Amino acid sequence: MVWRLYAESAMLIEQESQIEHWRVVVLCPNRQLNFGRPAAVAGTAQEHELADVIAATLISRFNGRSINQLCAMGSITVDEFTQSVAYREIFGHGLQEGRQEWLQEGEAREAAKVTLRLLNRRCGTLSEAAIAQIQSLPVDQLEALVDALLDFQGPADLDAWLAGNT
């Protein structure tokens, strides 16, 4: 296996005359083939760049594995893995999407809460079915309902609006 690695590396270097400094990264699917950690770059900017490359490769190639498994395969620490650009972009993107979804859900809950308070004042106590139907409305329909309820005279107007707009 090591001879094949040397042969492939030599072919690459022959093809690319521009390469002056090169390093081989071997990713192993388990610890039995641990080639160790390069000591020459420990603690340098090169090591952080190497950890970024390793993390990105591991995430894309072995996406079904746990973080600890990926770190063991790449001989990098969990801290190096979680500080990699690939990890931050992938999981940061997910966090941002989750945060945005959470904000939208909160906005819809608050809009429904205010709408129900206004409807209770205008139309009296609402049925459980009407409350559930109003709480399920998207924000834009809740806004339209708030505009319409200013003209409501009673529960019949609400029933008519819900029948025509949902």
pLDDT band at 94 (very low <50, low <70, confident <90, very high): low
Alpha-helix runs per DSSP H in 23-138: 45-61, 67-74, 78-82, 85-123, 128-135
Lowest average pLDDT, out of 60-64, 145-149, 160-164, goes to 60-64
More confident residue, 53 or 117: 117
Q: What is the pLDDT of residue 152?
A: 92
- Asked whether the predicted pLDDT for residue 161 surpasses 90, the reply is yes
Q: What is the pLDDT of residue 108?
A: 86
Report the C-alpha gap between 164 and 140 in whole angstroms: 15
Q: What is the pLDDT of residue 32?
A: 57
pTM score:
0.43
Please report where in the chains the tokens 């950690």 appear, as a residue.
37
Domain segments of the chain: what residues? 2-83, 99-165
Q: What is the pLDDT of residue 29?
A: 56
Please compute the mean of the pLDDT values over residues 43-48 and round it to a whole number. 64
